[in-house]
């Protein structure tokens, strides 16, 4: 083969390689831009340190129980941002503390993922609960509002019965409602206050789960809201922190008991989250001003930032996750 033929062959192969590379790249380039130069790549990255408001916050303690609609700034529960994709289509969920905080974020997300939702809350939280009910209905799903005090065993039993009746069954139970009160010293906690926290945070999940279990089929999920307080307690949350350690352990224990029955049990462990729990005595005015500042992200989390965790733990594609605690604490705390 003479030199001219060699050069021609090299040129042809080089041209073919370039053509193949161009064809392979074309779909990518086509997605990335138009003739006008507009970029159509992935959703823009968001800096988590500036995505939501950070401290200092204004003093805003409210009478217990506090309301989300009176907070400044108002928490983001995903009202505008959460987009569903049918991951929980046809499911039936009961969420305690569903009027605000993580319970509200889960209720909104569940409805937009295709689930019918029953929420429990205190009668004093009716104004917040009405907003959640409207959001669930707007998503095209059934909303059931069941106000009542979880410290009453008979009410917890009626709560489950009503949810099952009005939803037509039950396959997701989120034990989220909690009482948290800041006290500088254990000497400041009365037996009545201690009992209130224990009844709300430990007894109520026990009563509700007992009542719900006969209705839960294989594939159902139980989700407990625990906290970083379970493993890294604050000195002023003596009683609350104990209950969150108990929640963590009921998740792990019950997961072993119910695993053979095909019922999964998991927990979500938030760090400092911007909810009414803090405003109604859960934090001191001094702590509220700098709330979330101690985390590596430098701000408190928003309930909307945990919504997808509650969805994932209830979805069928998380079928091998049970007895797990999923943390969301801005880079601090455990797990």
In the chain, the N- to C-terminal Cα span, in Å, equals: 70
240 is catalytic: yes
CA 76 from centre of chain: 12
- Per-residue CA distances from 110 to 87, 88, 115, 307, 310 (Å): 9, 7, 5, 9, 8
Exposed e or buried b for every residue in 119-133, given b needs 16+ CB within 10 A? Answer: bbbbeebeebbebbb
- Per-residue CA distances from 103 to 78, 119, 175, 314 (Å): 11, 8, 9, 14
- What SS3 class is residue 130? helix
Q: Which of 52, 240, 310, 326 is catalytic?
A: 240
Residue 317 CA to residue 164 CA, distance in Å, equals 24
Enzyme catalytic residues: 240
């Amino acid at each position: 083969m003479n030199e001219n033929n060699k050069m021609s062959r090299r040129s042809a192969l080089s041209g073919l390689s370039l053509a193949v590379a161009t064809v392979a790249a074309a779909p990518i380039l086509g997605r990335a831009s138009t003739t006008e130069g507009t970029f159509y790549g992935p959703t823009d990255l968001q800096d988590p340190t500036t995505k939501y408001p950070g401290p200092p916050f204004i003093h805003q303690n409210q009478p217990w129980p506090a309301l989300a609609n009176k907070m400044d700034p108002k928490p983001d529960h995903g009202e505008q941002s959460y987009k569903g994709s049918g991951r929980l289509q046809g499911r039936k969920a009961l969420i305690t503390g569903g009027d605000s905080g993580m319970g509200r974020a889960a209720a909104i997300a569940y409805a937009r993922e295709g689930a019918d939702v029953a929420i429990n809350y205190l009668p004093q939280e009716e104004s917040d609960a009405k907003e959640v009910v409207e959001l669930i209905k707007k998503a095209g799903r059934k909303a059931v509002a069941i106000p009542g005090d979880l410290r009453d065993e008979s009410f917890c039993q009626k709560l489950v019965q009503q949810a099952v009746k009005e939803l037509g069954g039950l396959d997701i139970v989120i034990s989220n409602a909690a009482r948290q009160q800041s006290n500088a010293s254990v000497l400041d906690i009365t037996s009545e206050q201690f009992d209130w926290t224990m009844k709300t945070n430990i007894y109520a999940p026990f009563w509700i789960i007992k009542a719900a279990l006969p209705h839960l089929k294989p594939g159902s999920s139980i989700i407990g809201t625990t906290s970083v307080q379970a493993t890294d307690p604050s000195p002023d949350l003596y009683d609350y922190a104990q209950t969150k350690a108990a929640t963590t352990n009921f998740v792990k224990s019950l997961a072993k008991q119910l695993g053979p029955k095909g019922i999964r049990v998991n927990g979500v462990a938030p760090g400092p989250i911007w909810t009414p729990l803090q405003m109604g005595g859960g934090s001191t005015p001094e702590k509220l001003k700098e709330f979330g500042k101690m985390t590596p992200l430098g701000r408190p989390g928003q309930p909307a930032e945990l919504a997808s965790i509650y969805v994932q733990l209830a979805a069928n594609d998380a079928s091998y996750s049970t007895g797990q605690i999923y943390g969301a604490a801005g880079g601090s705390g455990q797990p």
